[in-house]
Amino acid sequence: MRMENSDGRADFAFLVAIEIDPERQSKHHGASPQCLSQGDAEQMLSHLAADLGALLPDLSKCSIAAAGALYDQCQVLRPGTPLFTALAKRVKPKSSTTTARLTGVGFNDDGSEPAELAPDTRLPTGLLLMIPLLCSGEARLIDSLGEEMEHRFLGEGQVSAHTASWLQSAFDIEVGHARFMTLTDLLAMYRLQLEHFGYLPLWELVDAAVHGDHGEQRISTQSGASFHWRDGVVHAEFQTFDYWVHHGAGNDSGEATAELAKRYAALTREVRRYTSTLEAHHVPLVFTLPADCQGEVREGYISENTGREAGLANSAAITHHDWPDLGTIAISANTSEGVRHFYPLTAEGLNTIQSGLAGLALTGEGIAFPGTIRIDETTRRLRPARIGA
């Protein structure tokens, strides 16, 4: 990916993609690979530069910077590509007469500094890890080299056996394959990954965010969830169960309540996967509600006042509507002012809901954990669990 400079120069961002051997890597029990010291980062870049020079000799006329750490693709593919922006600050020549140089960026002992290049430890260590690199030089040369990288890396970009062995030892990982890759290559590969798992629309949102698309994108998922990219933000429409079953995709059949519960769990699962992935990419995200949904978006959760009769008889005061692989989908509170439902959007939101329940005028008996979604057979709406049910 080409990045503009204001001094007649240009930068081009690219990567080393390392595929971890899962069978041999299992001995590390998923521990995050270590960051390299300054000296090791410089040595790493020396190895990589030698491989690059053999493939693209004109790169010797450019300055190259690399971070001495491994990153998940979600951290690489973030709006504004902040890892490469941080590298661009380090590769910029001190003067117009400065010759090409190599800048390996090392880290302190715990990998937290420099902060703008620190790997995101909240992301689980996957089987595909990245080393970001950036070359800088005269604009026409960078354009020519960038074009060559786009055409040659996938077919000819494998790093040498010597470099792969050095990376394996330095990072304490089991390298299956390691190759140079452009951001275009990574986005194309990521698209195939998401398509394989049935989440192709998610790629459209990530791609728009990474490229800073000023237009709009509207996507719908297999389960009927809706996401809208506009003004640099993804707007995720949240459908409560009552809205979904009477106005959304759940309104298209007379299915039994057990099947409705299964389908709403599938919708919730899909929304959570989309939103968690977008958050991992640091894509700005806000939740919205359909215009005629009787709910309110709060910090980390949705509150819905159903307007239904107060104090349902023979019902639990609090009902946790759970699903085996999802945990809590919703919590129903049977209060003297009517039934209220709460839908957690985040772990913190769930804590906030649970803390706030004590302040409600609850009626009914105890707390119910039915292990499923409780639905009124007659009204086909979410309801507190019946005592003994």
pLDDT, one tens digit per residue, over 13-64 is 999 999 987 766 655 545 567 899 999 999 999 999 999 999 999 999 999 9
Do 268 and 366 sit in the same domain of this protein?
Answer: yes
Nearest-CA neighbor of 303 among 294, 311, 291? 294
Q: Does 51 lie in the same domain as 40?
A: yes
Q: pLDDT at residue 222 above 60? A: yes
Residue 389 clears pLDDT 60, i.e. is over it: no
User: In this predicted structure, what is the pLDDT of residue 108?
Assistant: 86
pLDDT at position 255 is 79
Q: Is the pLDDT of residue 310 over 70?
A: no
CA distance 36 to 104: 10
Tally the domains of the chain: 2
Average pLDDT of the residues in 66-85? 95
Domain of 49, in residue numbers? 2-196
88-92: list long-range contacts, CB under 8 Å, 24+ apart: 88/3, 88/5, 88/11, 88/134, 88/136, 90/65, 91/11, 91/63, 91/64, 91/65, 91/134, 91/135, 91/136, 92/5, 92/136
Query: Amino acid letter at 342?
Result: F
Contacts of 3 (CB under 8 A, 6+ apart): 10, 11, 12, 13, 81, 84, 85, 88, 134
DSSP, res 173 = -
Residue 307 predicted with pLDDT over 80: no
Q: Are residues 284 and 370 in the same domain?
A: yes
**Same domain (yes/no): 313, 184:** no
Same domain, 79 and 123: yes
My answer on whether 257 and 382 are in the same domain is yes
pLDDT digits (tens, 9 = 90+) for 182-216: 999 999 999 999 999 999 999 999 999 999 888 89
Say whether both 221 and 347 belong to one domain: yes
Q: Are residues 288 and 139 in the same domain?
A: no
94: pLDDT strictly greater than 60: no
pLDDT for 258 beyond 70: yes
Contacts of residue 80, Cβ cutoff 8 Å, sequence gap at least 6: 212
pLDDT of residue 312: 67
User: Does residue 270 share a domain with residue 375?
Assistant: yes
pLDDT over 70, % of the chain = 91
Task: Place 296 in a pLDDT band, splitting at 50, 70 and 90.
Answer: very high
User: 203 and 184, same structural domain?
Assistant: no
- Amino acid identity for residue 324 in this structure: P
Q: Which of 170, 196, 222 is the last residue in one of the domains?
A: 196
* 190 and 236 housed in the same domain: no
Last residue of a domain, one of 196, 212, 231: 196
Mean pLDDT of the chain: 89
pLDDT, residue 159, reads: 96
- Of the residues 136, 168, 196, the one at which a domain ends: 196
> Are residues 342 and 295 part of one domain?
yes
- β-strands 367-368, 318-323 pairing: parallel
pLDDT score of 98: 55
Q: What is the pLDDT of residue 15?
A: 97
What span, in angstroms and rounded, lies between the C-alpha atoms of 199 and 220? 10
H or E element at residue 267: helix 257-280
* pLDDT of 93: 58
